[in-house]
Chain A
Amino acid sequence: MKELDRVRWRCRRGMLELDIVLQEFVDKHYMRLSETELQQFDTLLNFPDNDLWDMITAKKEIEDIKLRSVLQLLRAD
C-alpha cells in the first residue's frame, strides 16, 4: 500500500508531460505488473525527466533490453 504511495509520488516530475503519462500508467497498469516489471519501472523513474520522456516518445533507442516491456506499455498509452 505504502509502496504504491511512494511510487505515485515519484511520478511527480518537473515536466507536466511526464506527470500525466506516469500517473495514467500507474492507475492502469501498476497493480498488474510482475516483480521484474516493478523493478524496471523503478529504474525508469530514476532517469532524468528529459531522458525518460525521450525514451517514452521513442526518440531514444531503448539501450537496455531489460527496460523494454514496461517502456512498451508506457509508449502504448
Chain B
Amino acid sequence: MPYGLLKLYGSNGSSMAIIKRKFDVVIVGAGGAGMRAALQLSEAGFKVAVLSKVFPTRSHTVAAQGGIAASLGNVTEDSWHWHMYDTVKGSDYLGDQDAIEFMCRQASEVVYELEHFGMPFDRLENGKIYQRPFGGQSQNFGGAQATRSCAAADRTGHALLHTLYQRNVRANTQFFVEWMGLDLIRDEQGDVLGVTALEMETGEVMALQARAVLLATGGGGRIFQASTNAFINTGDGLGMAARSGIPLEDMEFWQFHPTGVYGAGVLISEAVRGEGGYLLNKDGERFMERYAPNAKDLASRDVVSRALTMEIKEGRGCGKNADHLLLKLNHLDADVIKMRLPGIREIAIKFAQVDPINEPIPVVPTAHYMMGGIPTNFYGQVVAPYKTGPEEVVQGLYAVGECACISVHGANRLGTNSLLDILVFGRAAGRQIIEDLKKNSHHKKLHTDSMDMSLARLVRLDSQKDGESVAQVGEALRKTMQEHCGVFRFADMLKEGVTKISEIAEQTNHTEIRDKSKVFNTARVEALELTNLAEVALATIVSAEARNESRGAHARDDFSIRDDNKWLKHTLYFREGRRLDYKPVRLKPLTVESFPPKARTY
C-alpha cells in the first residue's frame, strides 16, 4: 500500500496521521552535493525524492564565491598530483590520502561535465575555462603559486545550484520543498530503510521508505555565536545520524574566518587585505606584524584568526567590551574602495554601520566551515565501527558534502576544495548507490515502530509544560560554544564548556512552544533544529576537549604543537555515553607514494 494510515499520535485530543511513501532513493538536502547525486540517480531511471527545508536554489551552496579547484592547467601548468599535495598539507596531514587522490584526479572531469551541463564558467580569450589563483594552491609540491580555481564571476555557487536544479527538473527528480528530515529509520540489523520527515505546510509527518538514503544536509555552523553560515545550517543530518547510533568524525575541526563583521557574522573577504587593508588593536597597533612578520595581514586564515583571539584575550580588543578588532581601509583611496571593493563597502555600511572610506570595520574571527561530519568512504557510503570491523558499511546510508567526513579536508580545508568535494563525491555516491541497488532490489519491510523516535520527540514538544524557550536555549548554546570552544582552546574552558553544553543539550529536550498548530508551524521546526544543533555542539566540544594537540584549525593553548605520535588519528564521537574512539588516518594513497607528515609552513 503506497499510502497507509500507520499510526496516530497527539495530545489534547488532536491526532496526526502518519503516511508512508516509497522511493528508490531519498536524499535529504538540496544543495550542490544532494543535487549532484540526485542528477546521477534520476538520469539512471531511479525514483528519487529530494527533501529541502528551503527552495533548492536557496541552499547555502549559493554563498560559495571562490570557485572550484581543478588542475585543468589552462593558465599555468598544473597537475592533480600537485593539487593532492596541497590538499594533504592543508589538511595538516589528517586528511585520508586515498580519498584526496580520488578527489584531485577526478576534478577536471567533474568540471568539464559541469561545463557540458551549461554552467556559465568565466572564459579565457581562447575559449577555455578561465582560472584564477587562490591561497594554498602551489605548483611542484609547494613551489610557485598555482592557478587552479574555476569560477563563474563571484557567484560560482549560485551558477552551480541553478545548473544542477534545472538538470534535475528535466530528469524528473521529485523535490519536496519546505520539508524537514527528522530521523533515520533503521532496523535491528542497523540497515537504513528510510527517513521520517515533516511537511511544513501541512504539519504531517511522513515515513519516506527508500532502498538508499543519502544525507546531504550541509554544515552546522549555527552552533557558534559568530558564524558566517546561513540560518538554515543547523546540522540536521548530523543530528539524525547521531541519534541513530552513527558516530561523528573529527568534529573538533572548525575553520574560522578571521574577518567576520562583529555582531553580524557576515564575511569580509580576504580581498580587503589583498588590496592593502590591515588589522588594528585598541592601541592602534598593527599587531599582525608581531605574529607573522613576513606575511603580516595576509597570513593564512588559521594564523590570523589565532592572532585576533590572542589580542582579545590579552585585553587589547576594541569597544566597550574589548571583544573585537578593527579592519582598516580608510588609508586607501576612496575611489579604490568604491571601484574594487564595492560589495565590502555595502556590507560594512549595512551590518557594521560604518563607511570603510571613513572608519575601520569592527571584525571578529567567525566560524565558517565544519571539517568533521558523518564518517564515509570515498564512495559516499557511511562507515561505522560495528559487527566485525572498525569501518563497516552501513547498509542503505550514504552522506556527501559538508555533513560528511570522507575525510578530504582533514584538520583544515583549502578554499575552492569544498565545491570540488560536493561535485566529486556527489557523483561518486550516486554511482555507488546505482551499484548497491542492483543487489538490493526490494524494499525491506518497515516495522510499525519505525517512526516511534520521531513521534516521541514531537509528542514531547507538544505536551511540554513549563518548558524552556527555544530562543533562549539557542542563544546560550551559541554563546557557550563561542566562549569555550572557539578559535583558541584552553583546557579549563573546555572542561567547563563540556559541563555547560551538556546542561544546555538537556534543556533542548525540555523546550516548550506556544503555538501547537499543525499548519506551517515554524516554532516547531526551530525547536527541532535546536536539538540537532545540540548534537553538533556536544560532539564538537567533547572531541575538542580530548584532543591534546594543536593541528590545523584545532588550536590548544596547553598543547601548542602537532603531536603525530599520539594524535595522527581521526576522532569518532558516539552520542551514547558521549564515548570517544579513534581510527587511523589513511596515509596510503591509491596509486602514488604517501606524503609523510612534515611541518606545515607557508
Measured CB to CB, the residues of A under 8 A from B are 2, 5-6, 8-10, 12-17, 19-21, 48-50, 57-59, 77
Q: Which residue of A lies closest to B153 (CB)?
A: A50
- Measured between beta carbons, the chain A residues less than 8 angstroms from B158 are 48-50
Cβ-defined partner of A9 (8 Å) among B228, B347, B522: B522
Which among B157, B162, B346 has the highest number of chain A CB atoms within 10 Å? B346
Measured CB to CB, the residues of B under 8 A from A are 53-54, 57-63, 155, 157-158, 161-162, 178, 200, 227-232, 264-267, 342-343, 346-347, 350-351, 517, 519-522, 525
A12 touching B232 in the complex, CB below 8 Å, given contacts A48-B57, A49-B158, A50-B155: yes
- Can you pick out 24 interface pairs between chain A and chain B where the beta carbons lie within 8 Å of each other? A5-B521, A5-B522, A6-B520, A8-B522, A12-B53, A12-B231, A13-B230, A14-B54, A14-B59, A14-B60, A16-B227, A16-B230, A16-B231, A16-B264, A16-B265, A17-B351, A20-B266, A21-B350, A48-B62, A49-B57, A50-B155, A57-B343, A59-B342, A59-B343
A2 touching B519 in the complex, CB below 8 Å, given contacts A16-B63, A57-B343: yes
Give CA–CA (A12, B519) in the complex, Å. Answer: 18
A26 to chain B, nearest CB (A): 12
CB pair A13–B54 under 8 Å, yes or no, is yes
- Measured between beta carbons, the chain A residues less than 8 angstroms from B60 are 14
A9 touching B520 in the complex, CB below 8 Å, given contacts A14-B62, A16-B265: yes
A15 touching B350 in the complex, CB below 8 Å, given contacts A5-B520, A59-B342: no
- Measured between beta carbons, the chain B residues less than 8 angstroms from A49 are 57-58, 62, 158
Give CA–CA (A57, B57) in the complex, Å. Answer: 20
CB pair A19–B231 under 8 Å, yes or no, is yes
Given A5-B520, A9-B522, 8 more contacts at CB 8 Å? A12-B53, A12-B231, A14-B62, A15-B62, A16-B229, A17-B347, A48-B62, A59-B346
CB pair B520–A16 under 8 Å, yes or no, is no
CB pair A12–B230 under 8 Å, yes or no, is yes
B537 to chain A, nearest CB (A): 19
Give CA–CA (A15, B158) in the complex, Å. Answer: 10
- Measured between beta carbons, the chain B residues less than 8 angstroms from A8 are 522
- Measured between beta carbons, the chain A residues less than 8 angstroms from B522 are 5, 8-9
Give CA–CA (A20, B351) in the complex, Å. Answer: 9
CB pair B350–A19 under 8 Å, yes or no, is no
A27 to chain B, nearest CB (A): 13
Which among A8, A10, A16, A77 has the highest number of chain B CB atoms within 10 Å? A16
- A-B CB proximity, top 10 nearest: A14-B62, A57-B346, A14-B58, A19-B231, A5-B520, A50-B158, A5-B522, A49-B62, A14-B60, A16-B230
CB pair B178–A9 under 8 Å, yes or no, is yes
Give CA–CA (A12, B230) in the complex, Å. Answer: 8
CB pair B54–A12 under 8 Å, yes or no, is yes
Give CA–CA (A45, B545) in the complex, Å. Answer: 43
B272 to chain A, nearest CB (A): 16
CB pair B520–A2 under 8 Å, yes or no, is yes
Give CA–CA (A13, B62) in the complex, Å. Answer: 9
- Measured between beta carbons, the chain A residues less than 8 angstroms from B162 are 48
Give CA–CA (A21, B349) in the complex, Å. Answer: 12
Give CA–CA (A21, B265) in the complex, Å. Answer: 13
- Measured between beta carbons, the chain B residues less than 8 angstroms from A58 are 346
Which among B58, B61, B200 has the highest number of chain A CB atoms within 10 Å? B58
CB pair B61–A14 under 8 Å, yes or no, is yes
CB pair B520–A19 under 8 Å, yes or no, is no
Give CA–CA (A19, B53) in the complex, Å. Answer: 14
- Measured between beta carbons, the chain A residues less than 8 angstroms from B200 are 9
Cβ-defined partner of A15 (8 Å) among B53, B230, B346: B230
Q: Which residue of B lies closest to A58 (CB)?
A: B346
A45 to chain B, nearest CB (A): 10
Which among A13, A19, A57, A58 has the highest number of chain B CB atoms within 10 Å? A13
Give CA–CA (A5, B517) in the complex, Å. Answer: 12
- Measured between beta carbons, the chain A residues less than 8 angstroms from B521 are 5
Give CA–CA (A10, B350) in the complex, Å. Answer: 21
Give CA–CA (A66, B347) in the complex, Å. Answer: 26
Give CA–CA (A12, B53) in the complex, Å. Answer: 9
Give CA–CA (A57, B343) in the complex, Å. Answer: 8
Q: Which residue of A lies closest to B58 (CB)?
A: A14
A29 to chain B, nearest CB (A): 16
Give CA–CA (A9, B53) in the complex, Å. Answer: 9
Give CA–CA (A16, B351) in the complex, Å. Answer: 11
- Measured between beta carbons, the chain A residues less than 8 angstroms from B227 are 16
- Measured between beta carbons, the chain B residues less than 8 angstroms from A50 are 62, 155, 158
